[in-house]
Amino acid sequence: MSMERDEKTSRTGAAGSDDRGDKKRSVGRRKQCKFCGDEALTIDYKDQALLKYFITDRGKLVPRRISGNCAKHQREIAVAVRRARMIALMPFAVTGA
Amino acid sequence: MAQVRHGSSRDIPGRKREYETIYILRPDITHEAVGLVNTKVRGVIENGGGTLLKVDNWGKRRLAYEVQKQMKGMYLFFSYLGTAGLVEEVERNLRLTDSVIRAYSVKIAENVDPATRTSEVTDETFAKAATPRPDEEEIATGQANLRAVFGDDEDGAFDFEEAVFGSDDDGPM
């Protein structure tokens, strides 16, 4: 089994068609959580200007891998966005119409 | 009427919880009516043993989605200390008020010592909350500044609507 896998990876590696990871990983800069870096920055459901950076133009939450938030602050953002939606500061969904 | 709860076994005696309530009023509401709703909410909070900490009028804003057929609304923000059950009473009263199209409350903190928090609300600031800040649209179009410069009376003042939309008689309609 393992031999099979080794063969496979070596084959694709040789072909050069699937070199996912290695190059990208070494080049990519690790994203820092904005809120961990700046203590003064607080997450508030009333702060529409801040929250808009964490929703897409469709009104959906931006995932952590894009926003760079740590788990703790992503949770706080998610709660804040949900609260902001309840008082019509943020949309639940933006339709193309 | 539902029985009002006065506390919870989780609470430390003498401590209170901090809450924020935001409600949205119909955009066509008059200043007097805003004042009446605010006074009603203040009465409910103070009769229920709460302390009003802050009142703010955010002015008319565009809503992110339609609420009760309205696309704009006037936002009112109340921050207060109270025991469990007070929020239920505040929300119940807001639901019964026709001019309120949406109300939402959030618990900010538990076991707050009331002595450590001071109220920013005086009769003056409370009355001020009935008059909103300039409308979002007014700020965008600069009408708010014009109003500040010329005052609200139209006599001899620059007529903003006429300048933008033209006078009434130059359209085919």
CB pairs under 8 A between A and B: 27
Q: What's the pLDDT at B155?
A: 45
CA distance B113 to chain A (A): 23
How many Cα atoms sit within 13 Å of B5 on the Cβ side?
Answer: 9
Q: Would you call A56 helix, strand, or coil by DSSP?
A: coil
CA B88 to chain CA centroid, Å, is 18
A chain contacts of residue B102, beta-carbon cutoff 8 Å: 86-88
Closest CA to A78 of A51, A58, A48: A51
Nearest CA in chain A to B107: A83
Return all residues near A57 (Cβ < 8 A) that are at least 6 apart.
A94
Q: What's the pLDDT at A22?
A: 57
Percent of chain B having pLDDT more than 70? Answer: 72
Kindly tell me if the per-residue pLDDT of A13 is higher than 80.
no
Provide the token pair at B48.
């229920």
Name the band, by pLDDT with cuts 50, 70 and 90, for residue B173. Answer: very low
Inspect the interface and report whether the beta carbons of B104 and A86 lie closer than 8 Å.
Answer: yes
Neighbours of B87 (CB within 10 A): 22
Q: Could you tell me if A51 and A77 are in contact, meaning their C-beta atoms sit under 8 angstroms apart?
A: yes
A chain contacts of residue B65, beta-carbon cutoff 8 Å: 88, 91-92
ipTM: 0.72
Inspect the interface and report whether the beta carbons of B64 and A83 lie closer than 8 Å.
Answer: no
Q: What's the pLDDT at B122?
A: 83
- Give which of A76, A82, A89 to mutate to test B binding, by max B Cβ within 10 Å: A89
Cα separation, B38 vs B125, whole angstroms:
12
Inspect the interface and report whether the beta carbons of A91 and B65 lie closer than 8 Å.
Answer: yes
B chain contacts of residue A60, beta-carbon cutoff 8 Å: none
CA distance B111 to chain A (A): 21
Q: What's the pLDDT at B143?
A: 63
Which secondary structure element, helix H or strand E, spans residue B94, and what is its range? Answer: helix B86-96
**Is the pLDDT higher at B133 or at B59?**
B59
Kindly tell me if the per-residue pLDDT of B158 is higher than 80.
no
Residue pLDDT, tens place only, B42-91: 999 999 999 999 999 999 999 999 999 999 999 999 999 998 889 999 99
Question: How does DSSP assign chain B, residue by residue?
Answer: -PPPP---TTSPTT-EEEEEEEEEE-TT--HHHHHHHHHHHHHHHHHTT-EEEEEEEEEEEEEEEEETTEEEEEEEEEEEEE-TTHHHHHHHHHHH-TTEEEEEEEEEEEEE-GGG------HHHHHHTTSPPPPHHHHHHTHHHHHHHH-S--TTS--HHHHHH--GGGS--
Q: What's the pLDDT at B9?
A: 73
Cα separation, B58 vs B56, whole angstroms:
6
Nearest CA in chain A to B63: A88
Name the band, by pLDDT with cuts 50, 70 and 90, for residue B120. Answer: confident
Nearest CA in chain A to B68: A88
Inspect the interface and report whether the beta carbons of B64 and A86 lie closer than 8 Å.
Answer: no
pTM higher than the cut 0.90: no
